[in-house]
Amino acid sequence: METACMRYQNTYVNLDTRLYHEQPPTPLDNPRVGHFNTQVAQQLGWANDEDLMTNWVEILGGQYVPADFKPLSMAYAGHQFGQWAGQLGDGRGLLMAQVLDVDGQPQDLHLKGAGLTPYSRMGDGRAVLRSTIREYLCGHALTQLGIPLV
């Protein structure tokens, strides 16, 4: 599988290891493509072809992790439900890689529903489809309105 068109800049792994936990995603059984965002693919410098689609189904399904990917769950702290919660973290998502897009801007490739992490608490680490679709649509709307997602 060829991912030579991607330019990696995995900076998160240079931080203190107390801020993240390196781990691969938990593979899905029989992942399928429901939607492919060609606008994002173009911004990241990827061609919209059958070979790439096959690779990305395997990558997003957790069945294949390219060598330059550095999947990790992030630890953080903050308020939750109006109260200080102390340590929190990615309970169902992994930062798969950090890449530079066609404009040289850093982009995080984050996989939602990637399986259990040390921060999952009582969940199973997976994502409900309706919630994932809602997050995707909100992100797409913000992008189209010119609001940066940083």
- Model confidence pLDDT, tens digit, residues 2-20: 444 677 888 999 999 999 9
Task: Flag the least confident range among 19-33, 48-62, 67-81.
Answer: 48-62
pLDDT at 104 over 70: yes
Cα–Cα separations (whole angstroms), residue 37 to 12, 34, 43, 44, 140: 25, 10, 10, 11, 10
Q: Residue 3's pLDDT is what?
A: 44
State the pLDDT confidence band at 53, using cuts at 50, 70 and 90. Answer: low
Mean pLDDT of the region 138-144: 91
- Where do the structural domains in the chain lie, given as residue ranges? 7-78+87-144
Cα–Cα separations (whole angstroms), residue 142 to 126, 134, 146: 25, 12, 6
pLDDT at 22 over 90: yes
pTM attached to this predicted model: 0.82
Q: Residue 133's pLDDT is what?
A: 92
pLDDT at 38 over 90: no
Q: Residue 52's pLDDT is what?
A: 60
Q: Residue 130's pLDDT is what?
A: 92
Largest CA distance in the chain: 48
